[in-house]
Amino acid sequence: MTRHLLPLLKMWPLVTMSVLMLNCASDPSEATTKDPLAKLSPSARERMEDKKEEQMQDAAMAQVTEENLLSPYRYVISTSRYSVFADILKASTHSKAVHAQGVTLLAPTNEAFEAMSNWKMLMRKGGQAEIDEFIAHHVIPGSMTYDQFKSEPGHVCLSGESMTVDTRGGITFNGAHVRSGHVMTQNGSVIGMDDIVHLPLSVR
C-alpha cells in the first residue's frame, strides 16, 4: 500500500502550490491594490493628487539647505529648475548685488527659456552690457512676497524702468506670466516666472 501512495505523496507539493496560486489570483483585494484611487470620486481623487503635489513640494524644500537660503542668488544657482537663468546671472555684474542686497528676483524657469530659442544669442553674441540689461529687468529692489508683488499695479526694476502688473487672466509682469508662490531667503525673495520678462533688442 505504501508503494501505491508514494507517487501521490510526491505530487502533493505541486498540488498545494497550485491551490495557493489559484487563491492568490482570485483574491478580490488584488484589484484594489493596483489602483487605490479607483473607487474615489473625481473630486476626491483631485484632492488626493493635490495633496501629493504639496507633499512633493515640501520634500523638495526640505532638501534646500540653510546655506542655499542665504540670498536669492544662492537659491537660484542651487536649484535645477533655474539652471539656465543661473548661468546668465553668474555672468552678470549684478550678481553681487543680488547676493548682498535685499531684492526680489524674478527667475524664469528652464522651460521659459526653451519656449524662446533666441535667448541663446544672449550668451553667444551678447556682451556684458546685454547680459546686465537682461538681469536688471528681472530684479526688483526690496524683498516682496508673491501677494505683495501682485497687489501693486507696477514695480521699478533694477534697470530703472517701471513695469506693470496685470491680474486679468492670471498674473503677468510686462506680459510675462508669473508663477504662484515665492521663496523667502534671508535677505530677499524669489518669484518664479513662466516667461522671460525682457530680452535685449540687440539679441532678439
Strand partners, 192: 107
pLDDT value of residue 57: 57
Backbone phi and psi for residue 20, each to the nearest 5 degrees, phi listed first:
-65, -45
The residue extents of the domains of the chain are: 68-203
pLDDT tens digit string along 97-112?
898 888 999 999 999 9
Q: Which positions ≥6 away from 135 have C-beta within 8 Å?
A: 88, 89, 92, 94, 95, 98, 158
pLDDT tens digit string along 15-66?
445 544 545 444 444 444 455 666 778 777 767 776 766 665 555 555 555 5
Superfamily of domain 68-203: FAS1 domain (2.30.180.10)
Distance CA 178, CA 43 (A): 27
Cβ burial, residue 166 (10 Å; 0-12/13-18/19+)? middle
